[in-house]
Amino acid sequence: MELKETIKKRKSVRHFHEDKPVDDSTVRAILELAIRAPSAGNVQPWIIHVVRKPESRNLLTEAAHGQSFIAQAPVALVVCIDKERTLSTYGQRGLELYSIQDTAALTEHILLTAVDMGLGTCWVGAFDEEACSRALSLSRNERPVAIIPLGYPAKDPADRGRRRLDEVTVWD
């Protein structure tokens, strides 16, 4: 698929085929491309948890205020910031800004690669970080910033539209 086509096709999927697993080689292929994302100073301040156990995905659903499609997907990826890695290079600004930008770039690479491979995802940012950390027994060094349910879409979500370019662009 061409990049333009992949970008246009990407939508937030909230209904997954529960009986259609995503194999480890597919997850690995997605993550191999995701880690090619840019990062400030090439610090790469990310840690990605691949969550397959239903009980863990159920706990992530609870942490995400009941967004049940997280548990429905066969895999959930949890993108975390490696706080020590970013602090040691860029200090507080790295922790408060660069690491967020870097993990956002990684997350977008995951979303686009998944679409290109015929899978669906949803970028979930609405969750309780403490509950997510407890659900996965994350170290104090890790800050979860995105939960990404991953699976084969059960249906194609409706296009929700986008604001017009002239509404969001300022030319000098």
Tell me which residue range forms the domain holding 130: 14-156
Instruction: Supply angle C-alpha 6, 53, 135, rounded to 5.
Output: 95
Paired sense of beta strands 46-51 and 142-151, if any: unpaired
Q: What is the 3-state secondary structure (H, E, C) of 2-16?
A: CHHHHHHHCCECCCE
Instruction: Convert the pLDDT of each residue in 16-66 to its tens digit.
Output: 998 899 999 999 999 999 999 999 999 999 999 999 999 999 999 999 999
Q: What's the CA gap between 147 and 84, in Å, rounded?
A: 21
List pLDDT tens digits, range 146-165.
999 999 999 988 888 999 99
Residue 142, domain member (yes or no): yes
Closest of 25, 8, 33, 9 to residue 110, by C-alpha: 33
CATH number for position 31: 3.40.109.10
Look at residue 163 and tell me if it is in a domain: no
Q: What is the pLDDT of residues 69-125, one digit of tens each?
A: 999 999 999 999 999 999 999 999 999 999 999 999 999 999 999 999 999 999 999
Number of domain units in the chain = 1
pTM value > 0.85: yes
1: pLDDT strictly greater than 70:
no
Flag whether 168 is in a domain.
no
The answer to whether residue 171 is domain-embedded is no
